[in-house]
Amino acid sequence: MTTENPHKTSQQTIELKQASLAKLPAAIEVPNYDRSKLSAGIVHIGVGGFHRAHQAMYIDQLLQQPGNEQWAICGVGLLEANRELAQILKQQDYLYTLIVRHPNGTVENRVIGAMIDFLFAPDSQQAVIDKLASETTKVVSLTITEGGYHFNPATGEFDGSHPDIQHDALNPAQPKTTFGYLAAGLKARRDAGLKPFTVQSCDNIQHNGAVTRKMLLAFIELFDTDLARWVAEHVSFPNGMVDRITPVTTDNDINYLAHEFAIDDRWPITCEAFSQWVIEDDFCNGRPDWDRAGGQFVTDVTPYEKMKIRLLNAGHSVLGLLGAIHGFATIDEAVCDLLFARYLRTFMDDEVTPLLDALPGIDLTAYKDTLIERFSNPNIKDSLARICLQSSAKLPKFLIATVQENLSRVADSQLDYKAECQIELATLVLASWCLYSDKRVDQHGNALEISDDMAQELHHHAANTQADPLAFLAIEDLFGDLKHNATFSHVYRQCIARLYAPNLAIKTLMEDQL
């Protein structure tokens, strides 16, 4: 561990590679296990920053304990956008630096050695299927984001309309999507008389295992009912709650390693110190001892995931949307504003906490205190752009579900609902999302980037708000029937009227909602 500028060096830059590990300064921890002895029992699809800060770090911890050599990771990238990552990882022997930044300025730097191969699927389709079909592959884990699961957020049913899903259903031997590859790999195993692998979702979705199972089966049903039956019977899909705040890598991270330690790592990952992984122990073909690396096995992950998604992720969205309209750039900047902090805390206390089950061993007040501390970490520059990215895939589960659950406690059109539930603070966030999608500028007129698969639809509906204040809510796939709920639409209309009034000052509206 180190605090500031500890090992400034004038030496020549060292390229991060297996052969150069021994030359790295002592302040950088390196794998103390023999990577040449490892084999990849895990194939991971979707090697983003989160996977490398979370699951790969857990495996790295495990590999430091003898007897776990079979649990290294082979990464798989399905998207054209992964081409550069594939090249960089290969060049660096799949090594990268994890920069863990504590709130007090302490930094821990560790080279993670858990990944030993990476397959870029667009160039190596058969190699990916062969890897999935290989007997040594025991677990296939996923971080493919909410959108990768193809479910309709309002109904929870499989949505097979994506052109790539349709392609894969028609051409199961030449897949493009995660589901297509999983089906091809599982089919090859069944045909070869092998046991299947476990499919372990590490995405931020409630009941991520059950959702993966339901969507994958619905997809396979489209073209091979026998295979679907076999998968339903033999494959396990454990649910899990994952947590670690991991901002997008920037040049600052690369420059930090170059300037402080003369290390040339082209894709390091920065993350916070906190990390949590709660897993249901349901693996059909063996598993790593995640609990020996800091993970926790439980029989039912439901209350943990609800707590995390409705407090942490929703809290991020509250700060993200309101903060973006205010003109803030990062989460820490937003939460260090006293009004934003109070708004967030009141939202968590009044609108979410009453819906959460008590959890043995978890003190919700302490959990919320810790969240505010984590969000305030000045060394984690988590951009609001990352938080607002793909809001259409996030908000239905993070925030809209909370509003719906609160509303279900009162009869529709009950305008004196406040004794039963609170919805004001979340509603302002949803109305702000409408403004954000409509105007695409902050309150000072600066452009806001909208990166969302539904960007056009969001904009199209939001742009009708002047004519019909409830226009945005017509997107039923996101809002369900909220538009027809008299209690909700009353509060929402008030928010819209104020958000669309001249000289918007979001903080005044926030203050008034409190």
Q: Which of residues 24 and 242 has its CB atom nearest to ligand CS2 in the complex?
A: 242
- The least CB distance from residue 329 to ligand CS2, in Å, is 15
Classify strands 107-112 and 96-101 as parallel, antiparallel or unpaired: antiparallel
Question: CB–CB of 461/136 below 8 Å?
Answer: no
Q: Which of residues 196 and 323 has its CB atom nearest to ligand CS2 in the complex?
A: 323
Largest pairwise CA distance in the chain:
71
Q: Which of residues 38 and 478 has its CB atom nearest to ligand CS2 in the complex?
A: 478
Q: Which of residues 204 and 432 has its CB atom nearest to ligand CS2 in the complex?
A: 204
Tokens 């979410």 map to which residue? 352
- The least CB distance from residue 208 to ligand CS2, in Å, is 12
Q: Which of residues 245 and 478 has its CB atom nearest to ligand CS2 in the complex?
A: 245
- Candidates 120, 141, 129; CA nearest to 55 is 141
- The least CB distance from residue 252 to ligand CS2, in Å, is 18
- Candidates 320, 246, 267; CA nearest to 90 is 267
Q: How far apart are CA 219 and CA 483, in angstroms?
A: 31
- Candidates 81, 83, 60, 82; CA nearest to 71 is 60
Residues 6+ apart with CB under 8 A from 308: 241, 243, 276
- The least CB distance from residue 332 to ligand CS2, in Å, is 13
Q: Which of residues 131 and 316 has its CB atom nearest to ligand CS2 in the complex?
A: 316
Q: Which of residues 228 and 309 has its CB atom nearest to ligand CS2 in the complex?
A: 309
Q: How far apart are CA 318 and CA 322, in angstroms?
A: 6
Determine the straight-line distance between the first and last CA of the chain, rounded to whole angstroms.
42
- The least CB distance from residue 433 to ligand CS2, in Å, is 13
Q: How far apart are CA 365 and CA 349, in angstroms?
A: 9
Q: What are phi and psi of 100, to 5 degrees?
A: -100, 115
Q: Which of residues 35 and 244 has its CB atom nearest to ligand CS2 in the complex?
A: 244
Tally Cβ neighbours within 10 Å of residue 477: 14
Residues pairing with 151 in the sheet: 158
DSSP string, 364-381: HHHHHHHHHHHHH-TT--
Q: Which of residues 94 and 151 has its CB atom nearest to ligand CS2 in the complex?
A: 151
- The least CB distance from residue 131 to ligand CS2, in Å, is 27
Q: Which of residues 73 and 245 has its CB atom nearest to ligand CS2 in the complex?
A: 245
- The least CB distance from residue 429 to ligand CS2, in Å, is 13
Q: Which of residues 95 and 322 has its CB atom nearest to ligand CS2 in the complex?
A: 322
- Candidates 488, 389, 376, 383; CA nearest to 436 is 389
Q: Which of residues 52 and 131 has its CB atom nearest to ligand CS2 in the complex?
A: 52
Q: What are phi and psi of 262, to 5 degrees?
A: 55, 35
- The least CB distance from residue 319 to ligand CS2, in Å, is 10
DSSP string, 413-433: T-S-GGGT---HHHHHHHHHH
Q: How far apart are CA 238 and CA 207, in angstroms?
A: 9
Integer Rg of the chain from CA = 23
Q: Which residue is nearest to ligand CS2 (CB)?
A: 316
Q: Is the dihedral of CA 284, 50, 272, 368 positive or negative?
A: negative
Phi-psi region of 331 (alpha: psi -120 to 50; beta: other; left: phi over 0): alpha
- The least CB distance from residue 54 to ligand CS2, in Å, is 8
Could you list the residues that contact ligand CS2 (CB under 6 A)? 204, 243-245, 313, 316, 387, 394
- The least CB distance from residue 110 to ligand CS2, in Å, is 19
- The least CB distance from residue 81 to ligand CS2, in Å, is 17
State the Cα torsion 217-218-219-223 to the nearest 10°: 90
- Candidates 243, 402, 439; CA nearest to 324 is 439
- The least CB distance from residue 354 to ligand CS2, in Å, is 22
Q: Which of residues 377 and 427 has its CB atom nearest to ligand CS2 in the complex?
A: 377
- The least CB distance from residue 406 to ligand CS2, in Å, is 21
